[in-house]
Structure 1
Amino acid sequence: MEGPQIRALAERLNRALAGKMIDRVDTPANRWQANVVLKHCAGRSVKQITSHGRWLIWHFDHGVSWMLEPTGPWRWDIVPIAKKSDGQPSLAGRKLLSLTVLNSFRVQLVGKPLLLTQSTETMWQIAELRDIGPDPLSTPLDALALSRCLARAWHAPIARSLLSQRRIAGIGNRSKCEILYAAGIGPSTAVGQLDEAARQRLAAAIIAVLGAALRHHRLHEDTPPPARVYDRAGQRCAACNSIIVSDRSGRDGTWSWYCPGCQAPVHEPNLFDYLSTQTPATAVTAVA
């Protein structure tokens, strides 16, 4: 789950819960170490629900915040309560959290995220959030700001740098591929080889792709946005009619889908490039 989908979820939950009191908090016994802290939020009001990158953040009116990051599939269900006499909700299956709101509806989490609780004042000091990068959905990103985010990564492939949450928060593999396609940059291009024009294109592409994904998820919460290259290997590029390919040239631990026509790789020639253009006999002589 990527940043735009988390942001759309945060907006939906904020509309339903902001300013409302949580009557009770139910969690499965012996499932979360934070049960005691969670239940201390019963009888408190939700101040705001927002997000930063892949983190869903709940702020309560008594200065406590929840920070949740999905580690796999999850969903948040808003379920009306038929009768006010309904007792404790069933937490069978994969339901890990149930919030009863104003005795009128419940918000139930299905899934198993990483959950942290912290005072709102000090939440950005914990290790998981202290070094996280800016969220382009919240913080303006231009070529200069992008250069700061990618500092000290000049030799790394741009594909790997974009997936680092310590540099830019909220970009996943799908968005990475679409961003690089929109900017016309090959996934194996080193950060240090991006000139000013390329950085401007990349910054604009990050804003455009993440913004389009957010607008899509506001209408279609659980379906991915349309893709121009992601997961389309073997199909034709709509811009240049080249065949879209996928490989691990980005060296980021994931597959990269890209158009070799629109995203020509930019790199300095090295020995392996030279050897690949020689016949075997010539190559052996050259190395010797």
Structure 2
Amino acid sequence: MPEGDTVFAAAARLRAGLGGRVLESTDFRIPSLATADLSGREVSAVRSVGKHLLIDVAESRPGAGDAVSIHSHLKMEGAWHVHPRGQRWRRPAYQARAVLRTADHEAVGFDLGVLELLADPDAALAYLGPDLLADDFDREEAIRRLASRPDDTIGAALLDQRLIAGIGNVFRSEICFLRRVLPTRPVREVDLGPVVDLSRRLLWANRLRSARTTTGNTSPNARMWVYGRHGRLCRRCATPVKRGELESPGGERSIYWCPRCQI
């Protein structure tokens, strides 16, 4: 499931394949961008902001003032693949939403939940809370924003990208478990500093891993403490893990917890 670590890794791959290179051709396969053409322009930067990915493209000529960013959000099924030109795609062509080609590499965005061109991406994403994977992550601002919603459940607050950016459904279950906090506990009853610190550590540790783990074990059946383990025994106390639905930004989302370890 794409979360901040997944998007950070995708940005790193895109940066390696496209960064500083000229786009020989661009093919946007959605109606709103059907006539867009960024060929001949240089990719000046590739960066992630929470769960959002930005490919910054320089102006068409010096002084033209039309630099843009290709903004994408993976949502649930999206992915960016980068490979040498001519290599066979790993997903069906009908799923492709953007194809960017340089002299030697090709980047294909599949099933992107959001795809658009932004003239001022920083302004468009200014509503986001502090990015957990940013070099200049503002810990105190993250705590302040979370604390500003005292009556929200901590499980819902961790998913609210306006408060803190990068956490998705997997990490929020794992963070609450590791902090021994029920996801339904109100924010006002939670020690937020350690929650924020743990959130940053977990995402940072996984930002370039091919297989996400919160336990430190990369074996396929040992990577998570509670997420996806409904009915299986808690790795700490051997109590069966519970699964439920929690009202969250965007609607109800599944949540996993240990009824003995978390209070």
- Counterparts of 1:41-80 in structure 2, within 5 Å, are 41-62=38-59, 63-80=67-84
Q: Which residue of 2 aligns with 1:86?
A: none
What CA distance in whole angstroms lies between the structure 2 residues aligned with 1:232 and 1:173? 14
Alignment-derived partner of residue 191 in structure 1: 187
**Deviation sequence 1:54-78 (CA, Å, 0-9, x none):** 1110111222111111234123333
Secondary structure, in 3 states, of the residue corresponding to 1:251? strand
The offset of 1:165, in angstroms, is 1.1
1:218 deviation in Å? 7.8
Residue matched to 1:216: 209
Listed one character per residue, the Cα deviations across residues 230-287 of structure 1 (whole Å, up to 9, x for unaligned) are 0112222222332221223x432112111122211xxxxxxxxxxxxxxxxxxxxxxx
Cα–Cα, structure 1 residues 210 and 78, in superposed 2: closer, same or farther, change >3 Å? closer
Conservation of the 8 A alpha-carbon contact between 1:97 and 1:110 = yes
Q: Does 1:116 align with 2:102?
A: no
Which string of whole-angstrom CA distances, capped at 9 and with x for unpartnered residues, describes residues 141-187 of structure 1?
54x33321214310111001111111111111111001111112110
What's the secondary structure of 1:211's corresponding residue?
A: helix
- Taking structure 1 as the reference length, the TM-score comes to 0.76
5 Å-filtered alignment, 1:1-288, equals 1-28=2-29, 31-36=30-35, 38-39=36-37, 41-62=38-59, 63-82=67-86, 92-102=93-103, 104-119=104-119, 122-126=120-124, 129-138=125-134, 139-140=136-137, 142=139, 144-194=140-190, 198-217=191-210, 226-248=223-245, 250-252=246-248, 253-264=252-263
Percent identity between matched residues is: 24
**Secondary structure of the residue that 1:47 maps to in structure 2?**
strand
Who is 2:216 aligned against?
Answer: none
Deviation at 1:210, TM superposition (A): 1.3
Aligned counterparts of 1:224 and 1:68: Cα–Cα separation in 2: 31
Over 3 Å counting, the alpha-carbon distance change for 1:217 and 1:53 in structure 2 is farther
2-side partners of 1:10 and 1:58: how far apart? 8
- Could you tell me how far apart the structure 1 residues matched to 2:129 and 2:194 are? 20
Provide the secondary structure at the position in 2 that maps to 1:93: helix
CA distance, structure 1, for counterparts of residue 113 and residue 32 of structure 2: 13
1:206-246 Cα offsets, whole Å, 9 max, x none, are: 112212332423899xx999211101122222223322212
Unaligned runs of 5+ in 1: 84-90, 265-288
Aligned equivalents of 1:231, 1:240: Cα separation in 2: 17
What stretches of structure 2 of length at least 5 have no aligned partner?
A: 60-66, 214-219
Q: Is the 8 A contact 2:46 2:53 kept in 1?
A: yes
How many residues align? The count is 241
Q: Residue 207 and residue 219 in structure 1: after superposition, are their counterparts in 2 closer, same or farther (change >3 A)?
A: closer
Relative to its length, the structure with more helix (as a share) is 1
Question: Which string of whole-angstrom CA distances, capped at 9 and with x for unpartnered residues, describes residues 108-135 of structure 1?
Answer: 222233112122xx32223xx2311111
SS of equivalent to 2:209:
helix
Within 1, Cα distance between the matches of 2:109 and 2:142? Answer: 35
TM-aligned CA distance change 1:76 to 1:231, over 3 Å: same
* RMSD (Å), alpha carbons: 2.5
Measured in 2, the distance between the counterparts of 1:227 and 1:137 equals 21
Relative to the length of structure 2, the TM-score reads 0.82
Seen in structure 2, the aligned counterparts of structure 1 residues 160 and 17 have a Cα distance that, compared at 3 Å, is same
**Runs (4+) of structure 1 moved beyond 4 Å?**
none
Letter in 2 for 1:137: L
Q: Structure 1 pair 93/192, CA: closer, same or farther in 2 (3 Å)?
A: same
Q: What amino acid maps onto 1:124 in structure 2?
A: D
CA contact (8 A) 1:141 1:203 kept: no
